[in-house]
Amino acid sequence: MNTTDYFQLFSALAPEIIVAITALLVLAADLLGLQETPRSYRMSIAAGLTTVGCAGAVAWMFLNRTTGNWHGGMFVIDPLNETVKAVILLLTVFTAMLSVEAKFTRHCGEYFALLLLATAGMMFLASTEDLLMIFASLELVSLSLYVLVAFDKSSRQSAEAALKYFLFGGMSAAFLLFGFSLLYGLTGTTHVPRMAHKLFTLGVDPLGTVALVMVVVGFGFKIAAVPFHLWAPDAYQGAPLPSSAFIASGSKVASFYVFAKVLLLGFSQLGWGSDDSAMGGWMPLLSIVAALSMVLGNLAAIRQTSVRRLLAYSAIAHAGYMLVGFLALGGEAFASLLFYVTTYALTTVGTFGVLGVVEAQVGGDQLKDFAGLSRRAPVLAACLMVFLLSLAGIPPLAGFFGKFYLFAAALKTEGQSLPFLWLVILGVAMSCVSLYYYLQILKQVFVVEADERARPLAVPFLAHAVVVLLAAVIVLLGCAPTWLLTPLQEAIAELGW
């Protein structure tokens, strides 16, 4: 491209710019003006600014709908990634709202600034088709998240979790970069669609396979799939609660989106390996990872007594289900995948919202801390039931349709005679297993009597509002899944994938 219309580029980048500027604003406001004021006030101001910034970015995207491609795929805008970015911004807002009541830090400005920087990274991640940009934004996200995990400086667990997360993340980033560079070496380009073309003409060779596995390692870390999941339980447990919620939601959405896009655009022809090659493609590879994740995640979750660790293992299991959706990658399956990851992220944020209240008021995240919650905070208990049953995939909640569409798509793989039937059966069976541990929590909530001294919980208004809103959304999306699915399908159809 010879000339660039910088004004146009600026306008296209505006949402990201708004988020980045908000990050700086939050930091400046907190450091310059509010040091003397009480913490709750500072938290509210920072969260408010964050919300306004994110809302501004969303508003800009919806008022100023453009599509375009700058610098050969470095920055791309299409209806699909705008939707994904809107979802990410929404999750950021929810995370910010859940953070308001948190008491783990005095550095309010820094905390929200990092949250926003991570968000900006995710937005870039969603809107690029270039390996370099993917890597750079992934690093922006990861580095922000490492710090967010470490943010509770008074807690040794937090520091330990962050260090593990960082080392594990650094290692897998190294693999990812190695994989990317191999790909560049093979194809001479970092632009994903062009790379796909080149890879297709080359066929699968050993070097390409190594690159592929390395890419899977790198992204497998982000989505916490077995065997790259080891950081997740520690990080979920050690991190401050809003950070965990954000890792489990926003980061998941962005990672799944970009992982699916790289595979779909870059390796679409190599699913099964080509005929003249000795190497298999990524489909057998991912089916192994998916099966391992589903089995290990669900089985390990059964044994947990800490709800946070339980959620971490359940997240691993859900990553497994979603990987099943990868195997059918095509337009419709991609829409199902995005539907699943979006509803999953919303549900998880809601669960963490309830968990946050319980931790703050009861003092722990053990199963027994949830005893008698239905008496102590009936609304929260009801919402928690909605979330957990949705995670387990009970109709008519959103989680059911997510699983249903995903598995249905996996069964419709073209040209093959149900190659992934076994995976779908395994997935359904494992969903049954998952019901056991979700019901374990609900049993504590609804059946087990609370301690006699237990009094009703004082639920902060904001947490209440967020949780109820999310529960309502989950029920609504369960009753009318097309509200989300149809726009996604249309956006994908427009792209012609």
Partner 1 sequence: MSFILQNLWLIPVLPLLAAGISALLKRPNRSLAAGLAIGSMGASFLLSCMAFAATHGKHGAASRQAHNFDWFALGDTVVRLGWVLDPLTAAMVVMITFVGSLIFIFSVGYMSHDENFTRFFCFLSLFAAAMLGLIIANNLLLLFMCWELVGLASYLLIGFWFHKPSAAAAAKKAFITTRIGDVFFFLGIVWLYSETGTLLFYDSGRGCLEQDALAKMVAHTTIGGLAASSAIGLLLFCGAIGKSGQLPLHVWLPDAMEGPTPVSALIHAATMVAAGVFLVARVYPLMEMQQAGVSEPIPLTAVTWIGALTAIFGALVAVSQTDIKRILAYSTVSQLGYMMMGLGIGGVAVGMFHLLTHAFFKALLFLGSGSIIHGCHEEQDIRRMGGIQKFMPVTFATYAIGMMALSGVPLVFCGFWSKDEILHSAWHYGPSKIPFFLGLGGAFLTAFYMTRQMCFVFAGKYRGGHDAAHDDHGHSHSHGGAHSHDPHESPAVMTLPLQILAACTVLLTLVSTPLWPWLPEYLLGEAAHVDAAKLFNAGTLTLLVVSGVVVAGGIGLGWWFYGLLPAEKPDEKDPLEQQFPEQFAWSRGKFFVDELYAATFVKWNARLGELCHDLDRCVLDLLVSIVGWTTTGCAHVAKLFDEFVVNKLFDAGCGEVRRGAEAASELQGGQIHQYLRSIGVALILFVFILAVGCNK
What is the DSSP secondary-structure string of 182-233? HHHHHHS--BHHHHHHHHHHH---HHHHHHHHHHHHHHHHHHT-TTS-THHH
Q: From CA 86, how far away is CA 449, in angstroms rounded?
A: 41
Figure out which of the listed residues 172, 243, 293, 431 binds partner 1, where binding follows CB under 8 A: 172
CB-CB contact of 102 with 241 (8 Å): yes
Which is closer to partner 1, CB of 35 or CB of 486? 486
Q: Among residues 90, 120, 217, 492, which is the contact residue for partner 1, using CB under 8 A?
A: 217
Question: Quick check: 128 binds partner 1 (CB under 8 A)?
Answer: no
Distance CA 242, CA 43 (A): 13
Interaction pattern, residues 296-315, with partner 1; x per rule: CB under 8 A: ----x---------------
The Cα–Cα gap between 74 and 79 comes to 17
Q: Is 475 exposed, middle or buried (0-12, 13-18, 19+ CB in 10 A)?
A: middle
CB 68 to partner 1: min, Å: 31
For the bound state, the minimum distance from the C-beta of residue 84 to partner 1, rounded and expressed in Å, comes to: 22
Nearer to partner 1, 102 or 380 (CB): 380
Binding string, residues 367-406; x marks residues near partner 1 by CB under 8 A = ----------------------------------x-----
Least CB distance to partner 1 at residue 225 (A): 10
* 349 vs 477, beta carbon nearer partner 1: 477
Residues written for the chain: 497
What residues have CB less than 8 Å from 57, skipping those under 6 apart?
Answer: 14, 15, 16, 18, 19, 85, 89, 123
Residues 6+ apart with CB under 8 A from 161: 149, 150, 234, 235, 237, 238, 239
Range list of H helices, 100-205: 108-126, 131-149, 156-187, 192-202
> CA 227 to CA 248: how far, in whole Å?
18
Give the residue, chosen from 112, 135, 175, 437, that forms a contact with partner 1 under the rule CB under 8 A.
175
Position 66, amino acid: T
Cα–Cα distance list, 272 to 89, 255, 276, 283 (Å)? 36, 23, 12, 6
Sole binder of partner 1 in the list 42, 85, 164, 403 (CB under 8 A): 164
CB of 220 to partner 1, least distance (A): 8
Binding to partner 1 by residue 180, rule CB under 8 A?
Answer: no
DSSP code of residue 496: T
Query: Which residue number, 275 or 414, has a Cβ lying nearer to partner 1?
Result: 275
Q: Which of 193, 206, 364, 456 binds partner 1 (CB under 8 A)?
A: 206
- Considering the complex, what minimum distance in angstroms separates the CB of residue 483 from partner 1? 10
Quote the least distance from Cβ 132 to partner 1, whole Å: 22
We find the least distance from the C-beta atom of residue 407 to partner 1, in angstroms, to be 13
CB 406 within 8 A of CB 324: yes
Contact between 231 and partner 1 per CB under 8 A? yes
Under rule CB under 8 A, residue 215 binds partner 1: no
Select from 162, 176, 214, 355 the one that contacts partner 1 (CB under 8 A).
214
CB of 453 to partner 1, least distance (A): 24
The site for partner 1, by CB under 8 A, has a size of 38
Residues 6+ apart with CB under 8 A from 142: 169, 173, 222
Render the burial of 148-157: b for 16+ CB within 10 Å, e for the rest.
bbbbbeeeee
User: Quick one: which segment of 58-66, 128-136, 258-266, 283-291 binds partner 1 (CB under 8 A)?
Assistant: 283-291
> Residues near 295 by Cβ (< 8 Å), separated by ≥ 6?
320, 426, 430
Stretch that binds partner 1, among 69-77, 122-130, 147-155, 170-178 (CB under 8 A): 170-178
**Mask 451-480, x = binds partner 1 (CB under 8 A)?**
-----------------------------x
Separation between Cα atoms, residue 166 and residue 235, nearest integer Å:
10
At 68, is the secondary structure helix, strand, or coil? strand
Instruction: Indicate whether 171 belongs to the interface with partner 1 (CB under 8 A).
Output: yes
Amino acid occupying residue 307: V
Q: Where are the alpha helices (DSSP H) in 331-393?
A: 331-362, 373-376, 378-392
User: Buried b vs exposed e over 324-342: b needs ≥16 C-beta within 10 Å?
Assistant: bbbbbbebbbbbbbbbbbb
Q: Nearest distance from residue 251's CB to partner 1, in Å?
A: 19
User: In angstroms, what is the minimal distance from the CB of 423 to partner 1?
Assistant: 16
Q: Which of 82, 110, 152, 234 lies at the binding interface for partner 1 (CB under 8 A)?
A: 234
Stretch that binds partner 1, among 210-218, 257-265, 335-343, 446-454 (CB under 8 A): 210-218
Contact region with partner 1 (CB under 8 A), list: 31-39, 58-66, 206-214, 428-436: 206-214
> What SS3 state is found at 75?
strand
The footprint of partner 1 (CB under 8 A) covers: 160, 163-164, 167-168, 171-172, 175, 206, 209-210, 212-214, 216-217, 221, 227-228, 230-231, 233-234, 273, 275, 278-281, 284-285, 288, 300, 401, 480-482, 486
